[in-house]
Amino acid sequence: MIHFLRRNWAFAYPEKPAKSQGALRIGLLGASNIAPLAVIAPAKSHPDVIIAAVAARDEKRANAYAKLHGIPIVHTSYQELIDDPSIDAIYIPLPNGLHYEWAIKALRANKHVLLEKPSTSNASEAASLFRHPLLKQPNAPILLEAFHSRFHPVCAAFLEHVDKEKVVSAHATLTCPKGVFPETDIRFDYDIGGGVTMDMGAYTTLFLRLIFGTEPEECLEATPRLMPTGFDKRCDQAMNAKWRFPNGGIGTMHVDLSLRSLGPIPGVRLPMCEVVHDEMILDDQSLDSSGKEHAVVKKVIIWNMIMPVIWHRIDIEKKHTIRKSATKETLKQWTTTEYEKAYTWKDEARGGQGHDSWSTYRHQLEQFVHKIKGSGSPSGIWMDNEDSIKQMTMIDSAYKKAGLPLRPTRSYQEAL
């Protein structure tokens, strides 16, 4: 309990080191609700990052936002911020349908880009963005899709327990209680890339891809719960989907932005991923020549992979069976369970990267800065350009199987 309290206090009130000369100056497009958690707070504890500017459609809102968060420069338009020569990188947390346009504009201005997930409205846009000639030129700016949960040590620790080729099934769940996001929220606006599969589904599809270590062959099922009467029926409020992967394993997800309550009890579930492996026969010397065999089925679960700094846990469960080799008759069964946590990197090569109070966003910012400064990604974790395209391809496959239209493309030319 003491460790829990100390860690979360340090997360909420991080140390604020002096900023270095040449610190990366980041500008925010939009006075968004996510930026304080995603970049503003993480930048406070990073000596090489300054949140230097913000722009919003409403200048009054931008000024109030800047005052609240101690941001020195306010621009009257997104383009004005991008054109500011004092800004090195742009953070884009705009509605999904605006990501492509403003990412291209920022790259054209030779700004590095931290782009909120999902990167674009569909896979076609993602391919156009992440394979853009601007990213292939010498000293090209860095473009990173901000899958923050990928960067925390617990994600790597979880995957170390997964034998990708032997995964029989994997299930990822992410939900939010009904009422947190009203039906009028931009998350449910089809024209700007809304829908739960674009929102929470971005996380669950990523974890399924990481678990299997490859791309799905086919989306087998996709069952949406559409928006209620009076709202856009092209938008999914909840989605259940199933994919088949090359090893024959099945990946499923359940996402819901409006989870129903059970009477007075709000619909709250911990985010989780569960992985079941194929049965393995152990080389058990005690059973030699006895006509018996020792079989084990391993299950690995990660709890709260989205905000693990607050609390998380990895469960490694092994179900043992002693049975007759010939008839498979069960003689004895037992289950062992181990629990693991990973608030910091354990291996020496990455041991200096981070503190147990660092959020997923702080770890992500660390790697983003290292990449820009040319020192690679010390943790070895990165979301490369092709990965982002594959990510959108999997999301699109769910919409196609569900019989829903893909989120609409907004070309850069249309936005000029």
- CA-to-CA distance for 125 and 123, rounded, in angstroms? 5
Distance from the first to the final alpha carbon of the chain: 54
Q: Name which residue leads in pLDDT, 375 or 368.
A: 368
| Residue 261: predicted pLDDT | 74
Using the structure block, give the residue that is written with the tokens 């403003």: 102
Among 97-101, 180-184, 378-382, where is mean pLDDT lowest? 378-382
Q: Which of 338, 339, 342 is nearest to 309 (CA)?
A: 342
| 250 and 277 Cβ atoms separated by less than 8 Å | no
Q: What is the b/e burial string over 377-390, where b = at least 16 CB atoms within 10 angstroms of the residue's CB?
A: bbbebbbebebbbb
| Residue 326: predicted pLDDT | 86
Q: What pLDDT band is residue 264 in, cutting at 50, 70 and 90?
A: low
Q: What pLDDT band is residue 416 in, cutting at 50, 70 and 90?
A: very low
Q: Over range 373-377, report the average pLDDT.
A: 79
- CA-to-CA distance for 90 and 115, rounded, in angstroms? 8
Q: What is the pLDDT of residues 377-414, one digit of tens each?
A: 778 899 999 999 999 999 999 999 999 999 999 766 54
Q: What pLDDT band is residue 282 in, cutting at 50, 70 and 90?
A: confident
- What class does CATH assign to 2-149+361-400+409-415? alpha beta
Q: Name which residue leads in pLDDT, 326 or 386.
A: 386
Among 72-76, 77-81, 285-289, 389-393, where is mean pLDDT lowest? 285-289
| Residue 350: predicted pLDDT | 64
Q: What is the pLDDT of residues 200-211, one digit of tens each?
A: 999 999 999 999
| Residue 414: predicted pLDDT | 44
> What share of the chain in percent tops pLDDT 90?
85
The DSSP element (H or E) to which 334 belongs, if any, is strand 330-340
| Residue 352: predicted pLDDT | 62
> What single-letter DSSP state applies at residue 34?
S
Catalytically active residues, by annotation: 117
pLDDT of 65 higher than 60: yes
- CA-to-CA distance for 276 and 282, rounded, in angstroms? 17
CATH code of the domain occupying 153-307+310-343 = 3.30.360.10
Mean pLDDT (the chain, rounded) = 94
> What share of the chain in percent tops pLDDT 70?
95
Measured CA distances, 412 to 82, 84, 385 (Å): 16, 21, 19
| Residue 179: predicted pLDDT | 87
| Residue 174: predicted pLDDT | 98
pLDDT of 415 higher than 50: no
Q: What pLDDT band is residue 285 in, cutting at 50, 70 and 90?
A: confident
| 152 and 360 Cβ atoms separated by less than 8 Å | yes
| Residue 134: predicted pLDDT | 96
Among 88-97, 189-198, 250-259, 321-330, where is mean pLDDT lowest? 321-330
For the chain, which residues make up each domain, given as ranges?
A: 2-149+361-400+409-415, 153-307+310-343
Measured CA distances, 17 to 66, 193, 204 (Å): 21, 38, 35
